[in-house]
Structure 1
Amino acid sequence: MSRGSSSVAVTLTKSLVFALATVLAMAALATTISNGTTTSGRTFTALFTDATSLNKGDDVRMAGVKIGTVQSIGLRHNDTAEVVFSASESAPMVKGTRAELRFRNLIGQRYIALEPGSPGGEALPSGYTFSLDETRPALDLTMLFNGFQPLFKFLDPEDVNNLSAQIIAVFQGEGATVESLLSSTASLTSTLADRDQVIGDLITNLNSVLEVVSQRTGMLDTTLVTLQRLVSGLAADRKTLGSTIEGMGELSESVTGLLQEGRQPLRRSIDSLGDLSENLAENDEALTEFLTTMPQKTDEIGRLATYGGWLNFYICSIDGRIPRPEGYYGDIGVDSPAGRCR
């Protein structure tokens, strides 16, 4: 074989080896990107309250090792996500295993993490369905960030804005470095340290309040129970209370009409009372004498009526005039000589 033929053969051999290696590398890369698995394994179903961002083909892992993939995602009863996934035969799927959704990376991709149950437990059959009590959705970052709002109130808004901008820049890959993010985090931590006294006082006061509440637990329970009974009683008697309020309204209207009708007579009575007061003021001496002698007179009158329902009188003298036909009025009279009349 000539030297030229040998060179062509060597070049052809190297080209074939390079092409084969390239094809194998591309196949491996495609398998990795597509989240594929070479084992069919068993099939299980998991129910989640929230399966947002979980897609078909995502990983199913146990102890950090990929053991299967997500086969399909559907909806059950309009309020529950139904996820069907595969798992290899070698994976220890036993009773007590929990299926949890976790974040795969910072851009929101997720995977199913299987937390194995007790070793030696009863094996789960293929097609087993994990109920809502055996699953847990991914962490709600919105709820997590909202939980930091009371803390953010004590922070400098400028530091918070800088930290937020650095985090967004890192997520978007727009030139921010991890060092600047750590620097902003350090500044935020320093601010928290500066407010250590305020946070400490807040926690101390809160502990005092909780201690007082704890000591008054019985009284608080009694108050709440009594208040609940009161509210329940008022709710049960709402018709009676409504009728009572309506009756009070009608009574108010009646009293108003009565006052309007009696206003003029009452005014005249008050005016007459004024005249009576003036008369009494002008004759105060006679009134004083009458009130002074009234007890003695009532005693004497009382003695006259002690014999029964009548009054006894003893006449000491009597005078009179009798007219005569001629028009002369003669005087008549008699005087008693009794000692009581002297």
Structure 2
Amino acid sequence: MKPFRERNPLIIGAVGLTVIALLMLAAFFADDLPIIGGGTTYSADFSEAAGLVPGNEVRIAGVKVGKVRSVGLDGDHVKIDFRVDNAWVGDQTTAAIKIKTLLGQKYLALDPQGTKALDPGTAIPRNHTLAPYDVNEAFNGLATTVGQVDTSQLAQSFEVLSQTFANTPQDVKTALTGLSALSKTISSRDQQLAQLLGNTNQITKTISDRDQQFQTLLSDGNLLLQELRSRENAIGQLLTGTKNLSAQLSGLVNDNQAQLQPALQQLDKVTTVLERNQANLSKSIADLAPFYRVFANTLGSGRWFDTYICGLLPPAIGPINPEGCTP
């Protein structure tokens, strides 16, 4: 075998890049590999997709067991491929598209039935599948339908119908008169109804666009409630301890009320005296500042008093202070 130094470096580089590309593809599609990815891929036929998209969860009895791989049109029905991992799927299994959140996110629910395992090459038939009623699509369709209805012509039709059955029995006449009044009301509120349905459509679209944020908010709220539940005993003990502490403090005050009352009365007298002599205290503090300044200068030269006595020597020897001893 030739050493790598004697081989063509271009061929070695190309082979290395190819191997790296294959490893990256294998890592990216690891879930689809037969050994690494695991799980079995099945399919089901539905009358409609009902908002189910690839990546949605597959659940059995509320437990996630896989995810939807693809959703596509197959003739006059919708074919959904999904992968199931570590779960048994029988030959009589039923599948239903259900609503996961109030914002319209869906998941595929399986109900395993039958006596033998389902063949992955055999799709779950349409008589064993069920698609939900999509409220968002209903509102969207209602808004479009109302916008296309000629409410004026509808009101006129009900009016003519009411006049035609004017001589009919009272019950029929009353019912038609009510329909005529209803049609007139709808016709007069045509613009408001169209605006209301348009706003409803916009609100549902906004909520649907914010589905992930709502899920995060609900998940965080669930985590908060779980944390509060897990710390229920600690919170209960804290509240009980606070209650006991307040009881002990109340008892302490009651037991020492005879001693505390005279002390508070004496303290009140002291504060009264201090308040009455507040001006004198302020003046004493103000006069204390020069004294401390002179006292600091007196002791600032060492461990002695640096001062003199004015008038100790007679003036004939020599006046120490020409201005006299009068300050």
**Common fold, TM-score beyond 0.5?**
no
TM-score (norm 2): 0.34
Report 1 or 2 for greater relative contact order, CA contacts < 8 Å, sequence distance ≥ 6: 2
Higher strand share: 1
TM-score (norm 1): 0.33
